[in-house]
Amino acid sequence: MTETIDIHAPGVEVKKSACYFCHQNCGVLAYVLDGKVIKIEGDPQHPTNTGGLCCRGNIALQHIDHPARINHPLKRKGERGGNEWEKISWDQAISEIAERINQIKAESGAEAVATAGGTLRTEDWARRRFMNMFGSPNSFHNALLCWIPTFMVETAVSGWSPFETDLGDSRVVILWGFNPGASGMPGMHGYYDLHKAGLKVIVVDPRYSETAAHADLWLPLRPGSDTALSLALLHVVLFEQLYNQEFVANWCVGFEELWEHMKQYTPEWAAPLTWLEPDLIRQAARMYAKNTPGNIQWGCTADQLGKSSGAGMHARAILRAICGNLDCPGGDLMPGPSQNYLCDEELEANDWLPEEQKAKQIGSNKFKLTSWPGYQRISDVAKETWGKAPTAEWMCEAHGPSVFKAILTGDPYQVRALIVNATNPVNSYGDSKMTLAALKQVEFLVTCDYWMTPAALYSDYVIPIAGALERPTLHTNYGVTDSLMASQRAIQPMYERHTDYSFWRDLALATGQDADQWPWLNEEEVFYYIIYPLGLPVESYDQFVEAYRFYYPPLHFYKYGTNGFCTPSRRVELKSSILEELGYPALPTYIGPAENEEDDPAVAAEYPLVLTTGGGFMPYHHSEQFQIQSVRYLRHEPYFTINPVKAEELRIKEGDWCWIETRRGRIRQRANIEPSVDPRVIYAQRGWWYPERGAEGDEPFGCLESNVNVLSSVDDDHCDPIGGSWANRGLLCKVYKVSYWDTIDTTWSIPGSAAQPGVSVLPSESKLAYEPIPFDTSAPFELPEGLTWDYPTKLAWDIERGLAYDPESGWLYHPETYVYYDLETHYAYDPDTETLVDEEGTRYDMTTKQPIGEAQADATAVENPVGDQPDAATNKAALEQAPAKDEGEEAL
């Protein structure tokens, strides 16, 4: 069909594979001849992309056999970072790694072994399964910058993250810090069509983005001030009474407290913080609240604001709820975990991890919602509601930067081994200099990757990994939704590459884990196991892909109508009890961005510009594809965007190499002068490194030179206290031209500046963004002996008998039948005769607690028997006559 390759030649098979260069997971038809992919094409039948493929998708064939790919397991020869390698066999690599980590476990405990991950596109439940059985709680991803804190805050407030937008019936959508025009190509097409059909689009973005170009209302706010804007929008919706009063009355708790609390956050308060006119904020709030049903689409920005993130997520969760947009047609749907196939969480074997190991998770004492303390609480409620829980692998992780700090400082304990899987930490985690120093220093480092990244360079072993065409992919959106997309393997892995699932399975067996716990030999087997409960007439995973390809259950709206919301109170908790329990403000409470003009005027005087980074741009995804000529020629050098007014002031001309400096360090990029940003804003491209430069020097592959993460801060007091995310947006910076004698700054620091070498601060000495609010879960009254106080139900219980305690009357009562029982003797109270009755029917006097005469007792027992099933109506009436009525009973 093309000039050299005939895809219709005999023997060519068509495989329904997928592109996995970003999260969209677009369908790809792979034409395979003799075990080689000869051509690929977008799959016109696939629901995501309907035949489309972006720059990244189209270079799959350049990627699969690129000369720079790692094709064999490599073992380090000579010094670390010397880039001298010995090719070894897969089995040898696995057994040597297993031996080493087992030794470290024996010497320092399993928690001394940590793993760093990338983004979604790996079988991470397998990694978690391995780590849980191994006994280490320290696996982490870049999850905290990408949706996970939002998911957890929204789940704490409304029982599940309402992330599935039912746009077909929606009337308004807020695209908040979300630019599908550069990060989710298939989505952009849909938004354009819906917009044309009448959907109102509000875009919140400090930059004139591809998406902002198609907005009805564009809010070009100060980068990082999203939380102030969220609070102001919520204020307008509340005090202009634009919320859904019926929903608030029936389904929300804590509204009165919210009303009082939100009085302070007026649009006038937000105006200087967000640089937006109060009227524009009001207009946006009215557009959103009056056009119901509507959606707020999640965007990465929400999780990349550093310390102010949590309050913004909370405010937006409330905004959705009180406007009545939860789980209704056209609204934000809360799918819940899938009831029809196995969720990731069910494969993770979380029960294997002992409690004392959970407590050792690094960062769980600081950032509690996204680690074991918060996850455990949410998971318990979810299991009560759905029988299933959110995936632990993403929602409950160690705090990545704190693990790197632990490697460097030994605080809270020394992390000795790190397995890096599908990530380039120097480019993707905050404070790159610190991360690079940690990679150089860690005692034992293993990297599983396609390419020789800086992490791979300093590794003891490098493991070659198979790409998307070489493995099947099952996309379940982090395992927290009820639909899935499946794609098959086009070819078996080339050379000695293996999939990441094989790596974890083989490593598990080599470290001595039981083969019975890993019964699935390959992905096809485990995916079939996952989809088996669907009950479809297929005998293998491949058949499922051929016949069905995806599974979308019919939409169920108003699921909360039957069981209530998946929160402790079964209502939307505007005042969140889970956040309160963890020691955070129960209502959204403003904290400024990590660095801002209001709180740090001295910093702002030296660094007058506001930096925003982390936004996606075509054709790269994070730090990927920089090796591939076919896309690199589109953008071969890094550019930052600066407004022409500011550029003229700073005497910067188009294309000039400039330094961008924050208090942490400086990087250089070239100037792109255009009015797509405010004169006070700098927008820098993310992910830049130069794989073509080679591995020499302290900064291999130029990995710090243009890398925006050199500029970001991971200090504890700059991280979101709730979720632990660090700031990529809204940092203060300055920009100046690169001059002739400049050299690149290589000192690492936590924190520090380019002008002065950094000061190292031990993590335990650094403060949190605000001190945790002590949260008292003890009983508010003196607890009688033998009773247990249960904070979530606010009741003291006699657990053995299932009886609750009424502190005012001093009696026990049964929470369903409302029969009162004596506290000491446990005899039931009979209101008709005003006597006590024991289980055998013997009657006792109320005050003396002595048996009453036999004859009298027999007579009343026949007349009014008190058995196993007491008459609830009588007893409820009795309850009303009881000396004191506990408010808590109503909720039961």
Partner 1 sequence: MTRFVMVIDQRRCIGCQSCTVACRTWNELPIDIIYNPVVSEGVLGVWPNVHQTFTPLLCMHCDNPPCTGCCPCKASQQEPDGIVWVDEKKCMGCKVCVNACPYGARDVNHKEGFVRKCNFCKDRVREGEKPYCVNTCHQKARIFGDLDDPTSEVSQLVNSLQVNTIFPELGTNPQVYYIPDLGGGNR
Interacting residue ranges for partner 1, rule: CB under 8 A: 1-4, 39, 41-42, 44, 49, 51-55, 57-59, 61-62, 181-182, 185-186, 188-189, 192, 195-196, 201, 208, 210, 213-216, 218, 220, 618-619, 629-631, 633-634, 643, 645, 674-679
| Separation CA 232–CA 2 (nearest Å) | 57
Residues 434, 751 contacting (CB under 8 angstroms) = no
Q: How far is the CB of 218 from partner 1 (least distance, A)?
A: 8
Pick from 441, 423, 304, 426: nearest CA to 705 = 426
Q: How far is the CB of 113 from partner 1 (least distance, A)?
A: 40
Determine if the peptide bond prior to 278 is cis (ω within 30°).
no
> Which lies closer to partner 1 via its Cβ, residue 59 or residue 722?
59
Neighbours of 858 (CB within 10 A): 13
Cα separations (Å) of 176 from 217, 230, 297, 298, 302? 12, 10, 6, 6, 8
Q: How far is the CB of 682 from partner 1 (least distance, A)?
A: 13
Residue bearing tokens 């024996």: 106
Q: How far is the CB of 226 from partner 1 (least distance, A)?
A: 17
Q: For 517, which DSSP code?
A: G
Tell me the residue length of the chain.
Answer: 892
> Which lies closer to partner 1 via its Cβ, residue 41 or residue 717?
41
Residue bearing tokens 């967000």: 274
Pick from 340, 375, 334, 372: nearest CA to 160 = 334
Residues 856, 839 contacting (CB under 8 angstroms) = no
Helix (H) or strand (E) holding 16, with range, is strand 13-18
> Which lies closer to partner 1 via its Cβ, residue 117 or residue 619?
619
Q: How far is the CB of 255 from partner 1 (least distance, A)?
A: 36
What are the residue ranges of helices labelled H in 65-123? 90-108
Token couple for 287: 């557009």
DSSP percent split of the chain into helix, strand, coil, nearest 5: 35, 15, 50
Q: How far is the CB of 203 from partner 1 (least distance, A)?
A: 11
Please, which residues bridge with residue 75 across strands?
86, 461
> Which lies closer to partner 1 via its Cβ, residue 51 or residue 786?
51
Q: How far is the CB of 190 from partner 1 (least distance, A)?
A: 10
Pick from 601, 718, 731, 730: nearest CA to 666 = 731
| Separation CA 549–CA 15 (nearest Å) | 12
Q: How far is the CB of 246 from partner 1 (least distance, A)?
A: 33
> Which lies closer to partner 1 via its Cβ, residue 238 or residue 681?
681
Q: How far is the CB of 217 from partner 1 (least distance, A)?
A: 10
Q: How far is the CB of 229 from partner 1 (least distance, A)?
A: 15
> Which lies closer to partner 1 via its Cβ, residue 215 or residue 795?
215
Token couple for 557: 């709206």
Please, which residues bridge with residue 788 across strands?
797
Helix, strand, or coil here: 224? coil
> Which lies closer to partner 1 via its Cβ, residue 210 or residue 871?
210
Neighbours of 589 (CB within 10 A): 18
| Separation CA 713–CA 140 (nearest Å) | 18
Please, which residues bridge with residue 446 across strands?
419, 461
Neighbours of 721 (CB within 10 A): 25
Q: How far is the CB of 691 from partner 1 (least distance, A)?
A: 17
Residues 402, 144 contacting (CB under 8 angstroms) = no
Token couple for 311: 């309050």
> Which lies closer to partner 1 via its Cβ, residue 201 or residue 236?
201
> Which lies closer to partner 1 via its Cβ, residue 613 or residue 676?
676
Residues 438, 795 contacting (CB under 8 angstroms) = no
> Which lies closer to partner 1 via its Cβ, residue 335 or residue 619?
619
Residues 472, 524 contacting (CB under 8 angstroms) = yes
Q: How far is the CB of 142 from partner 1 (least distance, A)?
A: 24
> Which lies closer to partner 1 via its Cβ, residue 50 or residue 414?
50
> Which lies closer to partner 1 via its Cβ, residue 431 or residue 678?
678
* Dihedral (Cα; 416, 422, 426, 429), 10-degree rounding: -90
Helix, strand, or coil here: 207? strand
Q: Is the dihedral angle over the CA atoms 665, 668, 671, 672 positive or is it negative? A: negative
Q: How far is the CB of 47 from partner 1 (least distance, A)?
A: 13
> Which lies closer to partner 1 via its Cβ, residue 67 or residue 387?
67
Q: How far is the CB of 185 from partner 1 (least distance, A)?
A: 4
Neighbours of 16 (CB within 10 A): 21
HSE, CB side, 13 Å, CA atoms: give it for residue 286. 8
> Which lies closer to partner 1 via its Cβ, residue 675 or residue 780?
675
> Which lies closer to partner 1 via its Cβ, residue 39 or residue 471?
39
Q: How far is the CB of 313 from partner 1 (least distance, A)?
A: 26
